[in-house]
Structure 1
Amino acid sequence: MPTPRHGLARVLSKQGLCSRSEAARWIAAGRVEVDGRVVRDPEYPIVQGRQRIAVDGRELDAAPRIYLMLNKPRGLVTTAQDERGRDTVYRCLDGAGLPWLAPVGRLDKASEGLLLFCNDPPWAAHITDPGHGAVKTYHVQIDVIPDEALLAALTAGVDVDGEHLRAQSVCLLRAGDKHAWLEIALDEGRNRQIRRLLAAFDIGVLRLVRVAIGPLRLGDLPKGQWRRLSAHEIAALGGDR
């Protein structure tokens, strides 16, 4: 069988040094050498383990794997750089001396709660895989008092813009005179899935907080704070990798 080859930018990203787009910028700027020669093509074919790669004159070593969880505040966007100049989730990691880390999945600007980061792309891909990834659990404040029929309808789902949106499970946590809190679990990761699903039933979302990813709970981690995952938590989320 032929030896698998990967583009240079992908190899840098897979080793947890930077994002693929950042690697492409490094390569275009002439900062990356392969076997002592500057390469400016991000798709330059690499057979890992057979070629010497250096960045800024330093031979490449894989970055140590780091996994952490953040309690994302409302109002931050889940991206490294925002073209509109909005604050991003990386503001919460400023000054920590961490290597490059990527978010595992996303939470939109108006959403809060548990957000994972790592520099281990295969681990992240396992968690976000719609086929066998971890179930995500949310606490959602809505502007109506739901009945049993509505809760059943949310799990049955509805077609929206050509997609069938549904919740894996929904239960009522508590209710007041005008508002209620639901616990909603999703086993798939469609864009803004909960907001779009609820909007299809004319339900407004007042707050949306992710409280768990698989067995990992947000717990009492303060808003805007982060912590590293334990080896047990990493293994529990990573499956049989």
Structure 2
Amino acid sequence: MPRSPATTPRHGLARVLSKLGACSRSQAERAVREGRVCVDGRPVRDPQWPTSPERHRITLDDVPVAAARRVYLALNKPRGVVTTAADERGRATVYDLLAAAGLPWLGPVGRLDKASEGLLLLSNDTAWAAALTDPARHVDKTYHVQIDAVPDDTLLERLASGVVEGGERLAAKRVVLLRRGEKHAWLEIVLDEGRNRHIRRLLAACGIGVLRLVRTAIGPLALGELPKGQWRHLRPEEVDQLARAAGSAAKRREAWSTQAPVR
């Protein structure tokens, strides 16, 4: 078993693999336990083994692991596609849409369920992704939602004020009626937190069904005219804008929590 110098930063091996962009944290933990990862030529089976990429030679399946170039993608996820690397039921995944691109490993930044569509980010920059998905950061996510009813002001107010469902409080940060028909309507719903199936559960608790759910923006980044099923690289300024959105959202939340009460 390789020995780690006392001066080496104590980052677990699985975390190091993830931060280098070799694979996800869970994939790294599995690979380490399966004996597929070596440090300085010797297999290590402890995912928490303290490792430094600057001091140690790391291989995964006998291939040297080095820092991958950072990749940031925006994908227009179609309905019916799942956000997983593999599906035990053989359903199409978002990775099928990237299969021919020759990209390094990428992880989804958050999730969209099978029936939902729209903007999905993918990246191998795990720190950037973690900031955007951290519940404490409260990064806005905007959705256009077609519902099976014509809402009145009471419903819109209830969606914003929130409900308790399954022991969780669900609420929208903002709800706007976009357009209405005789039986259906489209709402714009903004969330600054992301609970499992948040919008669907919130609407169901109000007796409303969802016909379509499309994520149109994450923070300052809009889906725009990106065709369904297609993807593009984010521009450097877009990557920076999203990082700032996560940071500024956290700072606003911290400021609110430390404000003196109004007397």
Q: Provide the TM-score with structure 1 as the length reference.
A: 0.94
Which of the numbers 122, 144, 154 marks the counterpart of 2:159? 154
Q: Paired residue for 2:231?
A: 226
Cα distance in 1 between the residues matched to 2:7 and 2:152: 60
1:26–1:131 distance in 2 versus 1, CA, 3 Å: closer
Matched, 1:132 2:127: no
Q: Would you say how many aligned residue pairs link Structure 1 and Structure 2?
A: 241
> Comparing 104-113 with 53-62, which one deviates more in the overlay?
53-62
Matched, 1:203 2:202: no
Q: How far did 1:20 drift?
A: 2.4
Q: State the one-letter code of the partner of 1:154.
A: L
> Comparing 31-40 with 109-118, which one deviates more in the overlay?
31-40
1:28–1:162 distance in 2 versus 1, CA, 3 Å: closer
Which of the numbers 176, 179, 184 marks the counterpart of 1:174? 179
* Contact 1:69–1:228 (8 Å) recurs in 2: yes
> Comparing 68-77 with 7-16, which one deviates more in the overlay?
7-16
Cα distance in 2 between the residues matched to 1:3 and 1:32: 19
Q: How far did 1:191 drift?
A: 0.5
Cα distance in 2 between the residues matched to 1:151 and 1:27: 50
Which of the numbers 96, 99, 107 marks the counterpart of 1:94? 99
Which of the numbers 39, 44, 55 marks the counterpart of 1:39? 44
Q: How far did 1:56 drift?
A: 4.3
Matches within 5 A, 1:101-120: 101-120=106-125
Q: What SS does the corresponding residue of 2:23 show, helix, strand or coil?
A: coil
Unaligned runs of 5+ in 2: 1-5, 249-263
Q: How far did 1:86 drift?
A: 1.6
Q: How far did 1:129 drift?
A: 1.5
> Comparing 27-36 with 67-76, which one deviates more in the overlay?
27-36
Cα distance in 2 between the residues matched to 1:214 and 1:143: 27
Cα distance in 1 between the residues matched to 2:136 and 2:29: 30
* Contact 1:114–1:210 (8 Å) recurs in 2: yes
Cα distance in 1 between the residues matched to 2:42 and 2:158: 61
Q: For the aligned residues, what is the CA RMSD?
A: 1.9
1:168–1:2 distance in 2 versus 1, CA, 3 Å: farther
Cα distance in 2 between the residues matched to 1:155 and 1:191: 18
Cα distance in 2 between the residues matched to 1:199 and 1:58: 49
Matched, 1:185 2:182: no
* Contact 2:8–2:50 (8 Å) recurs in 1: no
For residues 176-196 of structure 1, what are the alpha-carbon distances to aligned partners after superposition, in whole Å with 9 as ceiling and x for unaligned?
Answer: 100000000000010000000
Q: Paired residue for 2:128?
A: 123
> Comparing 4-13 with 112-121, which one deviates more in the overlay?
4-13
For residues 65-90 of structure 1, what are the alpha-carbon distances to aligned partners after superposition, in whole Å with 9 as ceiling and x for unaligned?
Answer: 00000000000111111122221111
Unaligned runs of 5+ in 1: none
Q: How far did 1:31 drift?
A: 3.6
Cα distance in 2 between the residues matched to 1:55 and 1:141: 46
Q: Percent identity?
A: 65
Q: Paired residue for 2:14?
A: 9
Q: What SS does the corresponding residue of 2:128 show, helix, strand or coil?
A: helix
